[in-house]
Amino acid sequence: MDRNHLKRQVDLMKRSLFDQGYLDEQFIQLEELQDDDNPNFVEEIVTLFFNDSARLLQNIEQALVSVPIDFARLDNYMHQFKGSSSSIGAKRVKNECTRFKEYCTAGNAEGCFRTFVQVKQEHAILRTKLETYFQAYISFMCVFVLVIFALTYICLLFCLYLFSWQDKLDHLGLQEVKLDDYMDEGGSLIIDLYYKYDKAHMIE
Amino acid sequence: MENGFSSPRSESFPAGLRVLVVDDDPTWLKILEKMLKKCAYEVTTCHLAREALKLLRERKDGYDIVISDVNMPDMDGFKLLEHVGLEMDLPVIMMSVDGETSKVMKGVQHGACDYLLKPIRMKELRNIWQHVFRKKIHEIRDIEHENIDIIQMSRNGSDLSDDGHMYCVEDYNSKKRKDFDKNDDKDFSDHSTKKHRVVWSVDLHQKFVKAVNQIGFDKVGPKKILDLMNVPWLTRENVASHLQKYRLYLSRLQKENDLKASFGGIKHSDFPPKDPAASYGHQSSISLNQNDVANGYQFCGSNFIAQDADTKNHEGDLKIVSEMTEIKRALTTDVSDLQKARSSQSFGPSFASLETEESYPAFDSTNPPEFSWSENTETQVKKELKPHPQLEDGYSQLPPHGPKPQIQMNQLQSDPAVTSALSMTGRDISGSIEIKPLFTELKSKHVSHVSPTESAIDTFPVQTKSQLINHQSFEPISTVISSMKPQGFNLSITDLESCQRNLTSSDPNFAPINEDLTVWLKGDYYSMNFGQSIDFIDYDDPGFLAEVPFYLYDPLTADFQCPIDSTTECPIVDQGLFIA
């Protein structure tokens, strides 16, 4: 069934994200926090992260292009970003952040630039992947819901149909009686007609 | 819980534990909130440290535990930790993505109950109630020890005055003990409500500091402090525990200052370029913060005096000087609380040098280090005529107020105020405010008679413009300060702010203008406005600093002239101020 297929797809996606090291245990923690009170908790958190991280990345970028580079400030911004990415379990992003911080403490501007490119890249990749994941998840959920709805709808229709047949049947019963009556009449009429015809024919 | 704000904790402790979470990262804030709610705790979240402090001060006894992040933009997590520990005596848990041993050690040194590493697991949060419980038990034990001591003392009949205290303490404690005995963990909440937690409000702490200063730091003892403070409901063990914390605090500051001093002494002769200063800044910022806080703490008590002095205009140099010092200190505390310390770059060195008073190069050198400033001020002051004796008195008056090194530092800071202010980076406004007001005040006191030269006045507008940018940084400070301090302070703060603004932005070439500024500043103290943005521009020019003091001192050496016509400067100043 389509639903199962989607579910399998969602599970596969999640497993690959973990296997490839994009996400770590923190993501599972978030999923465990999800409950009836917050049914979309994980998605909300991820959205919140990506919105906030855009701002942080901008800060870092500005600090990087400023002359002369203030490494202390840069380190601080990256620290914030690293902390933020640890909140959703963005493992790869976090690793790149650690590398960046190493270059930063060493005062290596070149290294910082290179690593920052990597950070942004990982961030973008993760974003895409998670977007896809959530879309699949949502569509799975949607299909699931739709299927339920569809089934319900069909049942309803069926019931209605049955109900209406009942009526028809009753109606049919009456009709039959009438027909029978009519038939008798009709039948005699036809015979009459035949007779008249024959009669007419015979006169000729 | 008698607390009307939050619902009383149910019998099922630790459920219903009231937690305050402080973190600048919204993602983490949301996650922690959800996690804590799952643990059946009552959560309040905060983005900013000062907002958290405000909440804590508003709802005294409204929270059981505080969880705070280490890196926050407006205030260092460790600073918040210290405040909470000193004022509210709540258990504080630190969190950070950085798990370096040094950081963790620092957290524990500052009094953190625990240090969690991000990403935080739910199971770690489930156990935070043990810190609350542990603290309660320790407090009860302390009280019981106190009780025993008091009883013994009363038996000896050593101190009559203590009896009154003892009896109420005893009654109180015995009641508490009974409660405690009766209550098991089950009734823990009841016990905690009956226990009168002393919240060390700013006022109370000021009284405490005043008492300590009066007695003299070396001879201080909880009983004496309690007597001096004259707070009926305060118990000796409250004072004792608070004194202990205060001592630790000061010793830590002292250590940092010594470190700074030795470091600064090496560098005094040649003001380091920005980069070294930057690395400098890290250390100095820490010491600066601590100094600020210490100073603030020390002189909190004198704020009352300062306020009064402030209202009476120019009562005497002595008063004003001490007032400025005190206000400055208070401001510093507030500001430092609100600002991140990290940016105090050149401030550190000046601090250090001030402390040690070792490096005071010749005043005549064009690039004297900041520290020379302080020395110069002192010598200048001493050399000068009538105002000087008063100033000196002021100086002499100040030392008794607190630990000498810090006092001297503050005194001297006024001079380097300009330099340090100038060298301040975006976030470190506290230092500049602290120094500037004092210096400005001193200057204005003695310089009021010096009239600026015509050229100075002409160049003033130009100056003002350059200062405009800097004004902005001070605005938030003033706003913050005003919001934090009682009204009486606002004026003084304004004065300081305006002085500071003018001084910090001055270019060495505009030294005479600075004079003018200080002069008219005096006249225009209360016309200054606050309310600008906080962004302070990084000062990249340390050489700047060195020169400024030199120029600023010019008026001091010049003959006293008739007072400046403030009307000329007023429009300029106003313009400068309001543009920013």
* Lowest pLDDT segment from B13-22, B166-175, B231-240, B561-570: B561-570
Residue located via tokens 């002095």: B309
Cβ contact B79:B71 at 8 Å: no
Interchain CB contact of A84 with B (< 8 Å): yes
Whether B278 sits inside 8 A of A89 (CB atoms) is no
Cβ contact B84:B90 at 8 Å: yes
> Is a pLDDT exceeding 50 seen at residue B305?
no
Whether A83 sits inside 8 A of B35 (CB atoms) is no
- pLDDT band, very low/low/confident/very high, at B145 (cuts 50, 70, 90): confident
Q: How far is B50 from chain A (nearest CA, A)?
A: 19
State the Cα–Cα distance between residues B252 and B244, nearest whole angstrom.
Answer: 12
Identify the closest residue of chain B to A82 by CA–CA distance.
B97
The first and second tokens of residue B525, run together, are 């103290």
Interchain CB contact of B221 with A (< 8 Å): no
The first and second tokens of residue B159, run together, are 């101190």
The first and second tokens of residue A173, run together, are 């019963």
State the Cα–Cα distance between residues B569 and B79, nearest whole angstrom.
Answer: 40
State the Cα–Cα distance between residues B229 and B212, nearest whole angstrom.
Answer: 9
Interchain CB contact of B27 with A (< 8 Å): yes
Instruction: Please name the helix (run of DSSP H) or strand (run of DSSP E) that holds residue A158, with its range, or none.
Output: helix A109-203
Write the DSSP string, B538-570. PP--HHHHHHHHHHHHHHHHSPP-PPP-HHHHH
Cβ contact B339:B74 at 8 Å: yes
Q: How far is A62 from chain B (nearest CA, A)?
A: 15
State the Cα–Cα distance between residues B220 and B478, nearest whole angstrom.
Answer: 34
> Per-residue pLDDT averaged across B101-114, rounded?
91
Please report the residues numbered 87 through 106 in chain A whose beta carbons come closer than 8 angstroms to any beta carbon of chain B.
Answer: 87-89
> Per-residue pLDDT averaged across B233-253, rounded?
84
- Give which of A53, A59, A70 to mutate to test B binding, by max B Cβ within 10 Å: A70
Interchain CB contact of B99 with A (< 8 Å): no
Please report the residues numbered 347 through 406 in chain B whose beta carbons come closer than 8 angstroms to any beta carbon of chain A.
Answer: none
> Is a pLDDT exceeding 90 seen at residue B45?
yes
Identify the closest residue of chain B to A76 by CA–CA distance.
B71
Q: How far is B426 from chain A (nearest CA, A)?
A: 11
End-to-end CA distance of chain B: give it in Å, rounded: 48
- pLDDT band, very low/low/confident/very high, at B28 (cuts 50, 70, 90): very high
- Give the burial string for B493-529 (b: 16+ CB within 10 Å, else e): bbbbbbbbbbbbbbbbebbbbbbbbbbbbbbbbeebe
SS3 B371: helix
State the Cα–Cα distance between residues A41 and A30, nearest whole angstrom.
Answer: 8
In tens, the pLDDT along B511-545 reads: 444 444 444 444 444 444 433 433 444 444 444 44
- pLDDT band, very low/low/confident/very high, at B251 (cuts 50, 70, 90): confident
- How many of the other CB atoms lie within 10 Å of CB of A88? 28
pLDDT of A81: 92
Please report the residues numbered 145 through 204 in chain A whose beta carbons come closer than 8 angstroms to any beta carbon of chain B.
Answer: none
Identify the closest residue of chain B to A70 by CA–CA distance.
B278
Give the residue among B446, B448, B325, B327 at the shortest CA–CA distance from B397.
B325
> Is a pLDDT exceeding 50 seen at residue B497?
no
Cis peptide before B273 (omega within 30 of 0): no
In tens, the pLDDT along A14-54 reads: 899 888 989 998 999 999 988 888 888 999 999 999 999 99
pLDDT of A177: 55
Write the DSSP string, B15-35. TT-EEEEE-S-HHHHHHHHHH
Q: How far is A87 from chain B (nearest CA, A)?
A: 6
Cβ contact B66:B94 at 8 Å: no
pLDDT of A144: 80
Residue located via tokens 């600093």: B545
> Is a pLDDT exceeding 80 seen at residue B137?
yes
Q: How many Å is the Cα radius of gyration of chain B?
A: 25
CB contacts of B274 in chain A (<8 Å) are 68
> Per-residue pLDDT averaged across B565-574, rounded?
43
ipTM of the complex: 0.74
Give the residue among B254, B317, B312 at the shortest CA–CA distance from B287.
B254
Q: How far is B38 from chain A (nearest CA, A)?
A: 8
Residue among A33, A52, A71 whose CB faces B27 most closely: A52
Cβ contact B292:B305 at 8 Å: no
SS3 content of chain A, % helix, strand, coil (to 5): 90, 0, 10
Residue among A52, A80, A89 whose CB faces B71 most closely: A80
> Is a pLDDT exceeding 50 seen at residue A169?
yes
- Give which of A86, A96, A130 to mutate to test B binding, by max B Cβ within 10 Å: A86
Please indicate whether residue B138 or residue B508 has the higher confidence score (pLDDT): B138
> What domains can be seen in chain A, in order of their start residue?
3-155 (1.20.120.160)
State the Cα–Cα distance between residues B376 and B179, nearest whole angstrom.
Answer: 62
- How many of the other CB atoms lie within 10 Å of CB of B6? 16
Please indicate whether residue B469 or residue B32 has the higher confidence score (pLDDT): B32
B69 has which bridge partners?
A: B95
pLDDT of B195: 52
Average confidence score pLDDT of chain B: 58
Interchain CB contact of B31 with A (< 8 Å): yes
Q: How far is B428 from chain A (nearest CA, A)?
A: 13
The first and second tokens of residue B158, run together, are 């050593």
pLDDT of B199: 74
In tens, the pLDDT along B265-280 reads: 544 444 444 444 333 3
pLDDT of A194: 61
pLDDT of A191: 63
pLDDT of A124: 93
> Is a pLDDT exceeding 60 seen at residue B30?
yes
> Is a pLDDT exceeding 80 seen at residue B547?
no
pLDDT of A146: 87
Whether B31 sits inside 8 A of A72 (CB atoms) is no
Q: How far is B23 from chain A (nearest CA, A)?
A: 11
Cis peptide before B222 (omega within 30 of 0): no
SS3 B199: coil
The first and second tokens of residue B576, run together, are 């400068």
Q: Which range has highest mean pLDDT (B18-27, B308-317, B430-439, B467-476)?
A: B18-27
State the Cα–Cα distance between residues A70 and A58, nearest whole angstrom.
Answer: 15
> Per-residue pLDDT averaged across B118-134, rounded?
89
> Is a pLDDT exceeding 60 seen at residue B367?
no
Identify the closest residue of chain B to A83 by CA–CA distance.
B97
SS3 A35: coil
CB contacts of B126 in chain A (<8 Å) are none
* Lowest pLDDT segment from B193-197, B325-329, B503-507: B503-507
> Is a pLDDT exceeding 90 seen at residue B240?
no
- How many of the other CB atoms lie within 10 Å of CB of A106? 11
Interchain CB contact of A71 with B (< 8 Å): yes
Burial class of residue B552 (count of CB atoms within 10 Å of its CB; 0-12, 13-18, 19+): buried
Give alpha helix (H) positions in B183-235: 188-194, 202-215, 222-229
C-alpha distances in Å from residue B17, one per residue of B39, B126, B130, B195, B434: 9, 11, 11, 17, 40
pLDDT of B143: 86
Q: What is the DSSP letter of B113?
A: S
Residue located via tokens 């405490």: B208
Interchain CB contact of B274 with A (< 8 Å): yes
pLDDT of A8: 87
Residue among A45, A71, A72 whose CB faces B31 most closely: A45
pLDDT of B33: 93
Residue located via tokens 């959800």: B34
* Beta carbons within 8 Å of B212's beta carbon, 6+ residues apart: B220, B225, B243, B246
Q: How far is B146 from chain A (nearest CA, A)?
A: 44
Whether B25 sits inside 8 A of A76 (CB atoms) is no
Instruction: Please name the helix (run of DSSP H) or strand (run of DSSP E) that holds residue B93, with its range, or none.
Output: strand B92-96
Q: How far is A51 from chain B (nearest CA, A)?
A: 10
Q: Are strands B92-96 and B42-46 parallel, antiparallel or unpaired?
A: unpaired
Identify the closest residue of chain A to B30 by CA–CA distance.
A45
Write the DSSP string, B475-489. HHHHHHHHHHS-HHH
CB contacts of A26 in chain B (<8 Å) are 119
pLDDT of B418: 39
Identify the closest residue of chain A to B95 by CA–CA distance.
A83
